[in-house]
Structure 1
């Protein structure tokens, strides 16, 4: 799966519990109108139902329900991009412009890890590995 798909699934479910949810939902429905217009209205309904599940899961501390929704939406995003790979930039835009700004700091950090976003400032260098990194203390 594309890193943007992994991050978008995580960010979407976290954004469902935010006050900025309506704008994020509208952006996602707009993405479906662009990529699979025949599914756009159904996706809007699915998102409304999913938000109810997330709110209840957060109220009852049901992490499994949230994780199941993350997996579900990752699959939905993956299916959309398989049919319309040209929309990867649009999904990235929705993630960065609509989903991530709706998140609190903890959720934003989780999405950054999933998306693999790293920033360097001044003259810093960044070294990233595609798998686990281990360092010896010797």
Structure 2
């Protein structure tokens, strides 16, 4: 499986669930349903209903210390998004655009950093999420 698809689906599911109990929910819902309408029109109405049910669960869980419910919702939507992207890889660009629009509203926390590197031969790769000190002798 393409790690890019998995990563995009994870980010999408997390942002989607984070916004379910926010003021930005309606615009987020419309964006996600629109994505399905263009990628898999026959599933769009079912996805809209599933989003509404998930949003009701998220709102109830937010007020009742329901991190387990929110975690299950994230996993559920990550899986749905991953399956959509596997079936329709061309939808990845649209999902990225949607995430660029909604992700800043999903959290005030700094964005997660994902790093990927490939080295071959005698190459070296140095990556750090923050400070890095290298002493070679």
Indicate whether the TM-score tops 0.5.
yes
* Alignment equivalent of 2:104, drawn from 84, 101, 106: 101
Does the alignment pair 1:78 with 2:63? Answer: no
> What CA distance in whole angstroms lies between the structure 1 residues aligned with 2:37 and 2:30?
10
Does the alignment pair 1:21 with 2:13? Answer: no
Structure 1 residues 128 and 42, CA gap change in structure 2 (3 angstroms): farther
Aligned partners of 1:21 and 1:102 also within 8 Å: no
Q: Which runs of 4+ in 1 moved over 6 A?
A: none
Residue correspondence of structure 1 range 1-138 to structure 2 within 5 A: 1-97=5-101, 99-106=102-109, 109=110, 112-113=111-112, 116=114, 128=127
Aligned to 1:122: none
Post-superposition CA distance 1:8-51 (Å, at most 9, x none):
11000001111011011000000000111000011011101100
Instruction: Give TM-score, length-normalised by structure 2.
Output: 0.78
Instruction: Give TM-score, length-normalised by structure 1.
Output: 0.77
Higher relative contact order (CA 8 A, sep 6+): 1
Quick check: which one's helix share is greater?
A: 1
Cα RMSD (Å): 2.5
Structure 1 residues 89 and 128, CA gap change in structure 2 (3 angstroms): farther
